[in-house]
Structure 1
Amino acid sequence: MTTASNAIRAITASFKAQAQQKTDKAAQWKARLIDLKQRNPCNPVKEAKPQDRYQILSKEARELTAKTQEFEDAVYDLKAVNSNAKANQDTRTPLELLDLIVTKGCEVMATLDRLWM
């Protein structure tokens, strides 16, 4: 393991832990909100603080989860690659390429001469 991958794993673990803490706190605030709504169904003033706190914590947890996913996607950027496929590389030399260009140019000129006559 490289130190870079260890560092990134530590960062993602930290983000995951923070996201879990925020999710747990949001669940506690959600429970308080439900309890308040059951005890006082017609009092929106008392529901405002727990509702706001729940929404803020939920948003922060989602952002941390997204940030964790970004880090993991960057580290483990896996692409579908066929390891058995042959590489198609042009092995011609520059002189061979120039000769090919001249030959093809002559063919084009001959074709144009036939079309114009």
Structure 2
Amino acid sequence: MNHDERLSAEPIERALADELAKLDRLVQPTETPGPEWFDLFVEQGKRQARRKLVRDLTLFWLTAAGILAVYAALSFGRPMLFLAIQLAAVAVFPVVLLASGRRKKVTGRD
């Protein structure tokens, strides 16, 4: 940087320093919460995650028990209806597989 460039840069640097000083005066410093606050925040998050996990697992097990109850009732009570449902499921599976394969995959990249 030669002498002429330094002379032209000095007013810009001075103006920039003045504006930064104004910003420092205008912006109120904020206090960072202490480690206790962060510990409490993490504990609350863990509790919420645990509650959600228990709720989801309970829903999963109740649904599975219902499906197994229907399965047992159909297979022992009405074996022909059970076989018809099984055949329909086997027939529908390839259609669902093909339909899901035709969806356009969105990757976010162009």
TM-score (norm 1): 0.36
RCO (CA 8 Å, sep 6+): is it higher in 1 or 2? 1
